[in-house]
Amino acid sequence: MKFIARLYQAWLRRFAPAYYSRIFRILYGSNSVCIGPGLLCDGLPRCLLDSSARLDIGSNVEFRSGVELRIHGNAHLVIEDGVRVDRGVRILVTNGALVRIGAGTRIGLYSVINGGASIDIGHKSLISGFVYLQSSMHSFSNSNTAISDQGYKHAPVILKEGVWLGSHVVIMPGRTVGAYAVVGSNAVVTKDVAPGAVVGGVPASQLNSERDSTQP
């Protein structure tokens, strides 16, 4: 049994990523799906793509197991070169939105990118596990009506280049996080974050005026 387990582990490390990437290309390759060279998949991503939607995947992109991509209507998802998407990440794009994940970005496990409006993630951003980027929100204007019957509000989310979001961060609709800013773990961003700022808390606020080595 140990020998079989070692063989299986060797297959997972050496052969599975290329195998699953070939299956992904066969299943989803079309005029509306462009997949660059060097794609690696630890497991087969679940991809729900409407006929009018578009998916562009750059070169040397990595998907860990359990990734889900949902692109509805005429929405568009762009994953640029060298992006790594960890296990269990869910990316939803709808309402004609554009979600762009910039080159070299890392997205941690079980994070959610909810693109009811456009979301733009700058290159070399670090997004830790269990982060929620939310460009849609339930409307609330009538206390006598169920929230689920009151529709949605949508506003774009922008992360400039080189940002770092700690684990369990929530970015609310309509917010911009400036270049090279750090958002500490468990923070809820309800206002724009200035470039280079370090913020934390609920709601997130400035922690210090200069960058330091403190982990978010």
Which tokens go with 200? 């934390």
Q: What's the order of all strands across the beta sheet hosting 176-177?
A: 33-35, 54-57, 76-79, 98-101, 119-121, 157-159, 176-177
Torsion sign (Cα): 63, 106, 176, 100? negative
Q: Cα–Cα distance between 29 and 52 in angstroms, integer? A: 14
Which tokens go with 90? 């869910």
Q: Is the peptide bond before 195 cis (omega within 30 degrees of 0)?
A: no
Contacts of 115 (CB under 8 A, 6+ apart): 75, 77, 91, 92, 93, 94, 97, 98, 99, 135, 136
| Cβ 127 vs Cβ 166: under 8 Å | no
Catalytic annotation, pick one of 72, 123, 154, 168: 123
72 catalytic residue (yes or no) = no
SS3 content of the chain, % helix, strand, coil (to 5): 15, 35, 50
Q: Cα–Cα distance between 80 and 104 in angstroms, integer? A: 8
Residue positions annotated with a catalytic role = 123
